[in-house]
Amino acid sequence: MPYWETLTDRSLWLQLGILVAVTLATYLLLSVMLRVVSRQLAQRDKGSQSRFFHFASELLRSTSQLLIFAFALMIGLKTVDLSPRWESAMSHGWFIALAFQIALWLDHAVKLWTDSLTRDGKARNPVTTTLLGIIMRLVIWTMMLLSILANLGVDITAMIASLGVGGIAIALAVQTLLSDMFASMSIGIDKPFEIGDFIVFGDVAGTIEHIGLKTTRIRSLSGEQIVIANAELLGQIVHNYKRMNTRRIVFTFGISYHTPVEKVREIGAQVKRIIEGTEKTQFDRAHFFAFDESRLTFEVVHIVQTASYNEYMDIQQEINLELMETLRNMEVEFAFPIRRVEFIGGDLPEVKVAGMPEQTTAANASPYGGAS
């Protein structure tokens, strides 16, 4: 009979009806509001340069329907009479649902941020982006779990301490791996080089092919792939030639000591004319530099306006060819090494050639008239 009385209790059915009606109405209202606001933000995003409206619209779209229903149910429960025990449970339920939803929003925000980094057309380290995303998500969900446990009355101090001790033990066990991982993250954040850059360090020169979690792979000029740990690579002095906007070139050439002074004076002006007439380079100076062995040395400086090594070599080749033609027209000779040997006193050594008959010459004749 008590069960029958419960089933026929009008006040109970009235409260249940109010609960269902308020829950459904609240659920529909919240869903429609989120959909309308999300659509309005998406329309504003089309005419805006900022990514804020796009992020806000995507976050609202990612709202969990189950958690919306949970919020609607708790709002419905507020309209009926409940025992103090259920009131306490509802207060915890509000916090748990809100914590889960905030964690979901933050998780989706991290995903949108990492996706935006890979779609903006810039070359980035994908491992660093993924690693940052994993760490940020781990922090978000860990903080959510600890906050829920603290709200439920669980003492989380000992748990945090044990996690800290366990983290230190794991870090000591894999410190080499962690150092390379953090080096990879440092490469991704600081960007000393990126995929496709041509770098030189030590006796290695090549193009970055892949920046991994532990190692970086470089394709050398001779063709082989060089693999180096990230932490070791960051410990090197790295020359990044792809980021070199200009190239200062210094070269010398020598002319003969027989060149007249007037022509020596004219050579500097001719070199200036040649470089200024060459594209993608800027003349700096050209001077008669030094009296070197066997030649008069000129030093020339010009600034190549390109980072490409092949283009630089084409420019230098054109300058060299023009310089050869100009000096030939001026009847100026390039210098070449000359050695003069002078014998002072004594006799020249006798030279014998195989197959030639021995002859007495004036050079080896005795000064007294006899054969030596």
**Is residue 222, in this structure, part of any structural domain at all?**
yes
The pLDDT tens digits of the residues spanning 327-354 come to: 999 999 998 877 777 767 667 667 676 6
**Is residue 268, in this structure, part of any structural domain at all?**
yes
The pLDDT tens digits of the residues spanning 134-167 come to: 778 888 888 888 787 777 777 767 666 666 666 6
Q: Which domain holds residue 182?
A: 177-240
Residue reference for tokens 């003349």: 283
**Is residue 211, in this structure, part of any structural domain at all?**
yes
Q: Where does the chain show beta strands of DSSP type E?
A: 198-201, 204-211, 215-220, 225-229, 239-240, 247-255, 281-292, 295-304
**Is residue 143, in this structure, part of any structural domain at all?**
no
Provide mean pLDDT across the span 72-99. 68
> Which of 252, 256, 361, 241 has its CA nearest to residue 310?
241
Q: How many domains does the chain have?
A: 2
If asked whether residues 262 and 317 sit together in one domain, one would say yes
Specify the CATH number for the domain of residue 279. Answer: 3.30.70.100
| pTM, entire model | 0.48
List, in order, residues 6 or more apart from 278 with CB less than 8 Å away: 315, 318, 319, 322
Q: Is the pLDDT of residue 1 over 60?
A: no
The pLDDT tens digits of the residues spanning 5-62 come to: 444 556 656 766 776 787 788 878 888 887 887 777 777 766 665 666 667 777 777 7
**Is residue 77, in this structure, part of any structural domain at all?**
no
